[in-house]
Amino acid sequence: MLEADRLECTRGDRTLFRDLSFSLAPTQLVHLAGANGTGKTSLLRILCGLLSPAHGEVRWGGRPIASVREEYAAQLLYVGHANAVKDELTALENLEIGTTLAGRSCTRAAALQALEDFGVARCAQLPVRTLSQGQRRRVSLARLALGAGAENPVPLWILDEPLAALDTAAVAYLEDLIANHVKGGGMVVLTTHQPLAVTTVTMLRIDLDIQ
């Protein structure tokens, strides 16, 4: 259970939002909306614990995330603005190394399957430098498929513009993946400007424009 309690975020001398509270239980999805520059990415980074809020706190299982950092990190998958892939490494190496560094085990077969699921199995042995923007995004998102397929899946996904640069087939696949994850007891917080066709789950919409 993730709780945000009266969060306030300031960047420079500008207040992006204040008194923002919500909670997220298993099988729920939060869709953050808002124009550019309203603080969506900042809010996601606060939820991850990368950014500290000016006021308020984020709690995981009732405890502030700063006090359970490693435990919280094990329950969290964050796909940020940047793809977090190294240009010099191949897609497969990126996925394997990224997962191992995050502290999760990863077999080669599982990694290949995740790339296959995202339709980039053909590029598995190519350096990411040679891939297109959309393919890089798919490699980055393959972590989700890997996380969902693991023995004990990672419950909380925090996704920053996951649909950006993806083609329609990949968008449809990702929507399916998100819907299945939520239905299976997972939690998702995401931002997107595109309409999201995940209708079968409880969706909470937070509009930062109104804050």
Partner 1 sequence: MSPLACIVRRDLLLVFRRRSDVFNTLVFFVIVVSLFPLGVGPEPNQLRAMAPGVIWVAALLAAMLALNRLFASDYADGTLEQMALASEPLFMLVIGKVLAHWLVTGLPLVLIAPVLGLQFDMPPEALAVMAGSLVLGTPVLSLIGGVGAALTLGVRGGGVLVALLVLPLYIPVLVFGAGAVVASGAGLSAQAHLLLLGASLALALVLSPWATAMALRISLD
Query: Which residues are within 8 A (CB) of 82 and not within 5 positions of it... i.e. 6 or more apart?
Result: none
DSSP assignment of 106-136, as one string? --HHHHHHHHHHTT-GGGTTSBGGGS-HHHH
Does residue 68 belong to the site contacting partner 1 (CB under 8 A)? Answer: no
* Residue 126 beta carbon to partner 1: minimum distance, rounded to whole angstroms: 13
Binding mask 88-107 toward partner 1 (x if CB under 8 A, else -) reads xx---x---xx-xxxxx---
Query: Which helix (H) or strand (E) covers residue 178, if one does?
Result: helix 168-183
When the beta carbons of 163 and 198 are compared against partner 1, the nearer one is: 163
Query: Binding string, 37-56, against partner 1, x = CB under 8 A?
Result: -----------xxxxx----
What are the structure tokens assigned to 106, written together? 């990863």
* 85 vs 188, beta carbon nearer partner 1: 85
- Residues whose CB is less than 8 angstroms from the CB of residue 53 and which lie 6 or more positions away in sequence, other chains included: 7, 8, 9, 46
Tokens coding 36: 């550019």
What is the nearest approach in angstroms of partner 1 to the Cβ of residue 85? Answer: 7
CA-based radius of gyration for the chain? 17
Q: Does 170 bind partner 1 (CB under 8 A)?
A: no
159 lies in the binding site for partner 1 (CB under 8 A): no
Where along the sequence are the contacts to partner 1 (CB under 8 A)?
48-52, 70-71, 73-74, 76, 78, 80-89, 93, 97-98, 100-104, 127
